[in-house]
Amino acid sequence: MAEKIELPIKGMTCAACAARIERELNKLEDINEARVNFPLKKAVIFPKKEIELKEVISIIRDIGYDIDLEADVSVRAKKEESELKKAFIWSACLSAIIMPFSMWMVLPYNNFILFFLTLPVQFYFGIRFHRATILNFRHFTADMNTLISVGTSAAFFYSAFVTFFPQVVISAGIMPHTYFDSSAMIITLILFGRFLESKAKTRTYSAIKMLYELSPKDCVVLREGKEIRVATDTLEVGNAVLIRPGEKVPVDGEVIEGSTYIDESMITGESIPVLKNTGDEVIGGTINGKGSVVVRVTRIGKDTVLSKVIHLVEEAQFTKAPVQRLADRVAGIFVPIVILISVVAFFVWYVFGPEPKLTNSLLSFVSVLIIACPCALGLATPTAIMVSTGVGARRGILIKSAEALELTNKTRYVLFDKTGTLTEGVIIISDVIPFGNYSEKDILHAAYNLEKQSEHPFSEALRAKAEELHIGSSKVDEFEAIVGKGIKGKIDGKYYSVGNISLYEDSGKRLDDTIREKYHNKERKGPSPVLVWSEDTIMGILAFNDKVREEARDVVTELKGMGIETAMITGDSMKGARMISEKAGIDKYFYRILPDKKADIVEEYKKKGITVMVGDGINDAPALALADVGIAMGKGTDIAIESADVVLMKGQLSRLTGFIKLSKKTLWIIRENLFWAFVYNILGIPVAFGALYPLFGIRFEPIYGAIAMVVSSVSVVSNSLRLKLFKD
């Protein structure tokens, strides 16, 4: 029996569609659990026993959706984006012609020209809204699609009626105005919003594709003493693979020959390469240093660590539930009420109204629907988001989704990666402790000239420090590297060594207790210390560490001031994690955490409240995708950036608090916009119904509904533009 069944679904237009399919599938007795994800357009089914796929597909089709078994997820995403882009462009072009013809360019047969220009916008490019509305009616539900369809259809059909039968309207004492421009512009604006949303979703697939490309496509296998290049996906457990300097490790394995330093930052996030000797494990996708090693393959396919990271990123898209828009929630209540009021208005005017009864009834029916038309509602969120993203971009904050803005407003926890996020991700010499008559330059001269002969990761930090202090280069003779312990050689006729205590004591020397204590004290606090000695004399201690960002502590302090709790998750040791967390002011930290466990920690925090994850590496991708809001550092890996909802450009951590404040301000503006979007309509609906007619003889013509719609739209746009005044 299959552990799970994945089905690509087409026809979903919102989160409510996904919830509807999920609800119906979970009614089946043979299904243990069904999860439907709207962004990925996919259902994952966990059956209790063998299940007929035809039955599942039949249920999905019965409720108005379909299965797309031919195209893969990335193809479907690009296809949807392309279709929305084409629909928006054509709709916008036609609307650009319709608007002037509606406002000031009056030509013979003007209304007929407008009718034929609006027809394709309403029923071809806007067909997705009408299809969704029919589905909603079948299931007695309503959302923004319903509001868009009902509102624009009312405006279109009334305008069409006026165009072909103007005398009927004139006979009721009403000027024959048309509203083709309202119908076309509403659909164009909503299509633009859907296009931007679709474009943002394709980034999810880009992130997953990049993860697949981390593993090299081919590698060198040793067979009967020969080197044979083969495709990586043909490897089998037990194969011996040769990995040369600078190459990527193809799959998980065990070193059986040679030694090298391997950059495992993609998995652990730590910038210091790890020494690998015979018997040590290596992970597929990591990068080999300057040594050559032979690795025996131990895991292939879905069992590799990299495959598990990819799986975590994909799964995270299911656990990150799409936010149901406030507009959708309101529409679910507002639409049925408006339709009911319009129907009641029709019958009230038909029974109690003056002659011509049918014409007056139809006009009242249409007036109610037109004044409820969602022009301002369609603008309420997109305009605020558009202005907000522009404000964010000017401040170095790239906002990739509206959900991120909405959720960040309620942030309770911010979880940080360590390397490259709270730190610069660059190894530096954090301390030089000289002994006796030796100076800092003496120690650095010896260490730099020895290390430049090696492939050790500390050599780059020493080179940078030597250049800063203008330390000269000297010839090194009799150079020797002792794997896992240190290096030694002769400089200007004198022997020098750089290494750990073990290397020093291997020659029978005993380290002074005071120096030993200083060495271990540095080690306990987090930095990686090494001894530098000449012959039998200890010259000093060098401490290497990752540089903490200057703004890290200020950012954490400001977050705490907002009532937000912070924590750090790292693959580093307990000592390294403790040191960085203390410097940054973070109270809680998790250490020696690999990608799957990092995602587990994010999941636990999400249960307690809205959780933001900030990271920069491949190892952070699952956590960034899983968090309520994933924020990537702009100088991080492409995969982290694609998996995140927000990017802090130029790696400026200080922009994090600014984004949270911008989120709060944006949500406040959106709520105000929704108020203005409805206030005119709510006040106008009773008048459109005819509430003032019995007392004052005032009736609400459709033209006044259009005026109210314009006023509310201007209010919404003007209110959104206030975000340009935002200061963090």
> Residue 683 is encoded by which pair of tokens?
């006040």
> Residue 340 is encoded by which pair of tokens?
């009911």
CB atoms within 10 A of CB 32: 14
Q: What angle do CA 499, 502, 505 make, to 5 degrees?
A: 105
- The residue ranking higher by pLDDT, 720 or 313, is 720
> Residue 185 is encoded by which pair of tokens?
């512009």
Q: Give one word for 402, left, alpha or beta, with left for phi > 0 and alpha for psi -120 to 50.
A: alpha
What is d(CA 27, CA 60) in angstroms, rounded to the nearest whole number? 12
* Catalytic (active site) residue 66: no
Task: Report whether pLDDT(202) > 70.
Answer: no
What is d(CA 628, CA 644) in angstroms, rounded to the nearest whole number? 10
Task: Report whether pLDDT(562) > 50.
Answer: yes
What is d(CA 314, CA 318) in angstroms, rounded to the nearest whole number? 7
| One-letter identity of residue 397 | I
Task: Report whether pLDDT(241) > 80.
Answer: yes
List, in sequence order, the alpha helices (H) in 271-325: 305-319
Query: Residue 631's beta-bridge partner residues?
Result: 614, 646
CB atoms within 10 A of CB 426: 13
Q: What angle do CA 631, 637, 640 make, to 5 degrees?
A: 35
**What structural domains and CATH numbers belong to the chain?**
5-70 (3.30.70.100), 218-250+252-299 (2.70.150.10), 397-423+548-660 (3.40.50.1000), 424-547 (3.40.1110.10)
What is d(CA 299, CA 308) in angstroms, rounded to the nearest whole number? 12
The average pLDDT across 520-537 equals 81
What is d(CA 141, CA 708) in angstroms, rounded to the nearest whole number? 27
What is d(CA 234, CA 155) in angstroms, rounded to the nearest whole number? 62
Least confident of 92-96, 309-313, 604-608: 309-313
Phi (first) and psi of residue 381, to 5 degrees: -85, -50
What is d(CA 253, CA 239) in angstroms, rounded to the nearest whole number? 9
Reported confidence tier of residue 125, pLDDT bands at 50, 70, 90: very high
Q: CA torsion 49→50→52→57, rounded to 10°?
A: 60
The pLDDT value given to residue 118: 94
What is d(CA 291, CA 259) in angstroms, rounded to the nearest whole number? 6
The pLDDT value given to residue 254: 93
Least confident of 522-526, 531-535, 602-606: 522-526
The average pLDDT across 148-170 equals 84
Reported confidence tier of residue 15, pLDDT bands at 50, 70, 90: low
Task: Report whether pLDDT(511) > 60.
Answer: yes
Query: Sheet holding 226-231: strands in order across?
Result: 226-231, 218-223, 240-243, 293-299, 252-257, 281-282
The pLDDT value given to residue 323: 46
What is d(CA 271, CA 249) in angstroms, rounded to the nearest whole number? 17
pLDDT digits (tens, 9 = 90+) for 319-374: 554 444 555 666 667 778 888 888 898 888 888 877 777 777 877 777 777 676 55
**What residue has token string 């002074």?**
512
What is d(CA 174, CA 549) in angstroms, rounded to the nearest whole number? 70
CB atoms within 10 A of CB 197: 18
Reported confidence tier of residue 242, pLDDT bands at 50, 70, 90: very high
pLDDT digits (tens, 9 = 90+) for 432-452: 899 988 888 889 888 888 887
Write down the catalytic residue from 68, 328, 417, 616.
Answer: 417
> Residue 274 is encoded by which pair of tokens?
């790890």
Task: Report whether pLDDT(700) > 70.
Answer: no
CB atoms within 10 A of CB 453: 14
Give the count of alpha carbons within 13 A of 464, CB side only.
Answer: 11
For every residue of 498-555, DSSP letters joined together read: EE-HHHHHHTT----HHHHHHHHHHHHHS-EEEEEEETTEEEEEEEEEEEEPTTHHHH
Least confident of 95-109, 245-259, 587-601: 95-109
- C-beta separation of 121 from 101 below 8 A: no
**DSSP label at residue 470:** T
Task: Report whether pLDDT(523) > 80.
Answer: no
The verdict on pTM exceeding 0.75 is no
pLDDT digits (tens, 9 = 90+) for 369-406: 767 655 566 667 767 877 887 788 778 888 877 778 88
Closest CA to 384 of 325, 443, 302: 325
